[in-house]
Amino acid sequence: MTAAALLSAALSQHTPAPLEHTPRDGQLQKELYVAVGSWVVVTCDGVADGSLVEWRLNGSVLGHGSPLSVGNASAGGHGTYTCHDAQGGLIRTITLHTGYPPSPPVVHCWSPSYPTKAICSWTVQPEPILPTNYIATYSGGMKSGVWPCLRLHGLPQQCVLEGLDIYPAIPYLLNVTAHNPLGSASTVLPIDLEAIVKPDPPINVRVGAVERRSLLVQWDPPPSWFDPINFALKYKVHYFWNQPDPGQSVTLGPYEAEEAKLRGLVPGRTYHIQVLAQDLLDHGQNSDWSQPVSVTVPYN
Ligand SMILES: *[C@@H]1O[C@H](CO)[C@@H](O)[C@H](O)[C@H]1NC(C)=O
Ligand SMILES: *[C@@H]1O[C@H](CO)[C@@H](O)[C@H](O)[C@H]1NC(C)=O
Ligand SMILES: *[C@@H]1O[C@H](CO)[C@@H](O)[C@H](O)[C@H]1NC(C)=O
């Protein structure tokens, strides 16, 4: 066996060492990132092993001796460790951060504007606790290459693919990579626009009394749907009184018009009315229901 092979065999038997980051402030400060549950050895660099330094965690005395072992680092074991000489003078500051390497993101995509746009959002479980960055890219369509999935301002775990082709020559693939000081993990997801259509709910739902015992409901289509192409939508209307359970609710439609008349209502009763949108050709999913609008049917 060569020396290099021996060394790599020896290294592979060790659990990965905690990552140390270049100190910002000379050699006196160090950031240490460790996985929850791992065994951590904190060293007071610059003093010989076995020296009787004093260790403090967040200022409270922990014990004496170097190095210091922190067994089974828990999420609550993070904090600032300092080692001190016999006079109490500060020698080193080590900030310990505990968390998890990211697991592959769980990604969910939908198209509120078929077929040119998709929105994707993701979660990482368990919560890594440590600061975690995300890189989201996609490939496919009419051109080869990798493009950034545009991040939505203020939403770190969501991005938008725009200007997509309805019949892509190369299927679209989204790659979401999570990265933190303990590791990185990617999820690569095919995007089939037809399967993930989901309009936003209709807007401006308004209700007026037109005839005795009936109400006229009108709404506007979700503006996001028409950006930039205009496929037709159809709608359903749902109304309930007291509770939204089946005995006290009615669903009507689909309607291709942007209005519907509710008949046979009870004067004096308050109805809560919602509208949803769906692709006229039944691609993908319905929108969510709009927020209920409440109206009491007049007596006359
Ligand atoms: C480590 O700590 C966790 C809880 O913080 C506990 O459930 C687990 O049994 C501990 N493991 C060891 C080996 O002490
Ligand atoms: C040390 O201080 C940090 C920051 O205030 C806190 O989050 C952490 O829980 C403390 N650690 C311990 C073990 O008290
Ligand atoms: C996903 O993106 C990451 C970060 O850009 C990259 O390292 C990785 O190779 C990509 N994976 C695939 C399958 O393209």
Q: What is the pLDDT of residues 103-153, one digit of tens each?
A: 999 999 999 988 788 999 999 999 999 999 999 999 998 888 999 999 988
58 CA: nearest ligand 2 atom: 1
- Give the residues of the chain that fall short of pLDDT 70: 1-27, 72, 75-77, 227-230, 244
The ligand placed nearest to the CA atom of residue 77 is: 2
User: Can you give the pLDDT at residue 114?
Assistant: 80
Instruction: Find the residues whose C-beta lies inside 6 A of ligand 2.
Output: 57-58, 76, 78-79
User: Can you give the pLDDT at residue 227?
Assistant: 67
Q: CA–CA separation, 251 vs 239, rounded Å?
A: 7
Closest Cα partner for 187 from 107, 126, 248?
A: 107
| Residues with Cβ within 8 Å of residue 200, at least 6 apart in sequence | 112, 222, 224, 225, 277, 287
User: Can you give the pLDDT at residue 17?
Assistant: 44
User: Can you give the pLDDT at residue 196?
Assistant: 94
Yes or no: say if 163 and 196 are a contact pair by the CB < 8 Å rule: no
Closest protein CA for atom 11 of ligand 2: 79
Among 78, 81, 82, say which to mutate for ligand 2: greatest number of ligand atoms within 8 Å of CB. 78
Sign for the CA dihedral angle at 209, 213, 214, 215 comes to positive
User: Can you give the pLDDT at residue 28?
Assistant: 76
Q: Compute the distance from residue 56 Cα to the ligand 1 centre, in Å.
A: 22
User: Can you give the pLDDT at residue 220?
Assistant: 96
Yes or no: say if 161 and 113 are a contact pair by the CB < 8 Å rule: no
Q: Is the CB of 72 under 6 A from ligand 1?
A: yes
Q: Per the omega criterion (within 30 degrees of 0), is the bond before 254 cis?
A: yes
User: Position 210: which residue type?
Assistant: V
Q: CA–CA separation, 36 vs 73, rounded Å?
A: 5
Closest protein CA for atom 11 of ligand 3: 175
User: Can you give the pLDDT at residue 125?
Assistant: 94
pTM: 0.78
Q: CB atoms < 10 A from the CB of 235, how many?
A: 26
User: Can you give the pLDDT at residue 229?
Assistant: 67
Q: Is the CB of 135 under 6 A from ligand 3?
A: yes
